[in-house]
Amino acid sequence: MPYFYLPSHRIRKELLSLLVCFLIATGLNIYAIINYDAPLSELWTSILYVLMATAVLYVAWIVLRLLIYGFLCLIGRRPKSEHHLPFILHRHERGYRSHHHK
């Protein structure tokens, strides 16, 4: 049974990515409100759409990073750092622990 562990700096990095995605989605909402002459209250009333867009952007960002990683592996240029890949266990990473094999 694999054991996944995300070190705190990775969590911070992913949360930062998520925040950037949220800011982009909010920016798009503001742009749409101005562009379509919609009421400012849509900043709050459209929050669900913004959160959904945040999730979509974040997933897209993961996919993009996986593609880049896969491509680099394919051409034999394994990236020096794999920190950009979330949710993947890296045995050599600092903070890796396997309680089962202690």
The site for another protein (CB under 8 A) is made up of 28-29, 31-33, 35-36, 38, 42, 45-46, 49-50, 53
Q: How far apart are CA 52 and CA 5, in angstroms?
A: 26
Minimum Å gap between C-beta 83 and another protein is 32
Q: How far apart are CA 3 and CA 102, in angstroms?
A: 13
Tokens representing 88 are 């993947």
CB of 10 or CB of 25, closer to another protein: 25
CB of 37 or CB of 74, closer to another protein: 37
CB-based contacts of 24: which residues, under 8 Å, 6+ apart? 54, 57
CB of 47 or CB of 85, closer to another protein: 47
